[in-house]
Structure 1
Amino acid sequence: MKNWAFVSDFDGTISKKDFYHLVLEKYFEEGQALYKQWKSGEIKDIDFLRQVFTSIHQEERQIIEDIHSLEIDEHVPSFIRKVQAQGGDFYILSAGTDYYIHHILGQYGIRGVEVYSNEGYYKDKNVHLNIDPEHPHHSERYGIDKSKVLTDLKKEYETIYFAGDSEPDSHPAKVANVTFAMKALQDILKENNTPHIEVDSFSDIEQHLICIGVLR
């Protein structure tokens, strides 16, 4: 069994803005009604994302340019390298799609990071999702069941550290050994009495891991 791994959500945790927000603002203003339906629980997360990602109607060059415009926590690339250099593995676990995550990783020269997410691909001026209902990590609501992924990873590592920022992250937070909570996830975990450490950034996370001797 390996020693430890760090697993992070992507949208709103590594990136400062969710990719779907960028699409809504730039290409799909009428999607605000759809957003309200999703937030009220009328439609599933994965159906909301499917509709948003197929409402872009741009050449792939433009979509990649938009992806590259997403700001990320500037501390993330050095944090990942530090984790890898000091014996940890780094994973990204996202209920969005690996399509834009891989473009961001390439943009910042981040290597050796495995991505667990909904498979996405460019076709006919939009981003489409390839969801396999038979996949062992499948979730009807999110496309990918984050807690199932973490449960599998726990079989390989003695300790799993997890970072997230929103409702889908509340499920794997119950499985991780240590959860770092940002933004809305903090209140959700408080309500659920799920143990967590409140942070605002990866710089905060790094300081905590240094304090407990995981990083130096």
Structure 2
Amino acid sequence: MPARFLVVLDADSTLLRNEVIELIADEAGRGAEVAAATEAAMRGEVDFATSLRQRVRALEGVPIAAFERVRARVEPTQGAAAFIAGVHERGGVVGVVSGGFHEVLDHVAPGLGVDRWRANRLVVDDGALTGSVDGEIVDAAAKAATLREWAASLEVPLSRTVAVGDGANDLRMMAAAGLGVAFNAKPTVRERADIVVAPVDLREILPLLPR
């Protein structure tokens, strides 16, 4: 049965409570430094791709074994699993496109029922992070392109897509979607979204879905 609509969510601070890069940075003792840089990027004060490369450099030397501790600290946002189940009950598909990392999302997304996801990958050498990102960075343009690509593959018109995000790098995919939802969002995102959901509970979005 064809999908009736598509919902695409950001991951960090949207699907998940955490900013995962900050959890990884904690393992390098640089959590506060990276958190400040993340906040500036989410407010749109600096270019996301440049900022991400700088923040990832701070992760150099973190052993891959540390990811077990990182994944144990990741928390889904309140209502995440129920929201995704509600989308499925209504005939929709859920995608997640993230400026975060497959190394965490690959473990979290399936358990929540996410249908498809895309994120960055970290370069590993000799069991530790090198401080580099593998390939092209998933930035604002990539997020918008991914929403369009998934909609086309599902034969869902853009008018029946919903994009949910919190940071400046979500604005382009929110603009591309039929409905752009600011969730747990920075002021610049709340100002430019089609609608703002204030309670940090993803179930609050269910009434907004296409009928």
Task: Name the TM-score class by shorter chain.
Answer: 0.7 to 0.9
The answer to whether residue 184 in structure 2 is matched with residue 196 in structure 1 is no
1:143 offset after TM fit, Å?
8.5
Pair 38,164 (structure 1): closer, same or farther in 2 beyond 3 Å: closer
Separation in structure 1 between the aligned mates of residue 94 and residue 4 of structure 2, nearest angstrom: 12
Greater helix fraction, Structure 1 or Structure 2: 2
Separation in structure 2 between the aligned mates of residue 59 and residue 184 of structure 1, nearest angstrom: 31
Aligned to 2:16: 15
With structure 2 as the length reference, what TM-score do the two structures score?
0.77
User: Which digits, 9 at most, give the CA deviation of each residue in 1:4-42, with x for residues without a partner?
Assistant: 011110001011110112233342328717944993538
The answer to whether residue 177 in structure 2 is matched with residue 171 in structure 1 is no
Aligned to 2:57: 51
With structure 1 as the length reference, what TM-score do the two structures score?
0.75
Separation in structure 2 between the aligned mates of residue 10 and residue 144 of structure 1, nearest angstrom: 16
Q: Percent identity?
A: 14
Q: Report the number of matched residues.
A: 198
Residues 22 and 35, structure 2, Cα contact 8 Å, conserved in 1: no
Aligned to 1:92: 96
Query: Unpaired runs of 5+ in structure 1?
Result: 133-137
AA in 1 matched with 2:63: Q
Separation in structure 1 between the aligned mates of residue 118 and residue 103 of structure 2, nearest angstrom: 11
Q: What pairs with 1:69-84 in structure 2 (closer than 5 Å)? A: 69-84=73-88
AA in 2 matched with 1:29: R
Residues 190 and 196, structure 2, Cα contact 8 Å, conserved in 1: no
**Aligned-partner SS, 2:112:** coil
Of 141, 145, 158, 2:142 maps to: 145
Query: Unpaired runs of 5+ in structure 2?
Result: none
1:58 offset after TM fit, Å?
2.7
The answer to whether residue 156 in structure 2 is matched with residue 115 in structure 1 is no
Residues 170 and 188, structure 1, Cα contact 8 Å, conserved in 2: no
Structure 1 outlier segments of 4+, above 6 Å = none
Pair 31,150 (structure 1): closer, same or farther in 2 beyond 3 Å: same
C-alpha RMSD of matched pairs (Å)? 3.1
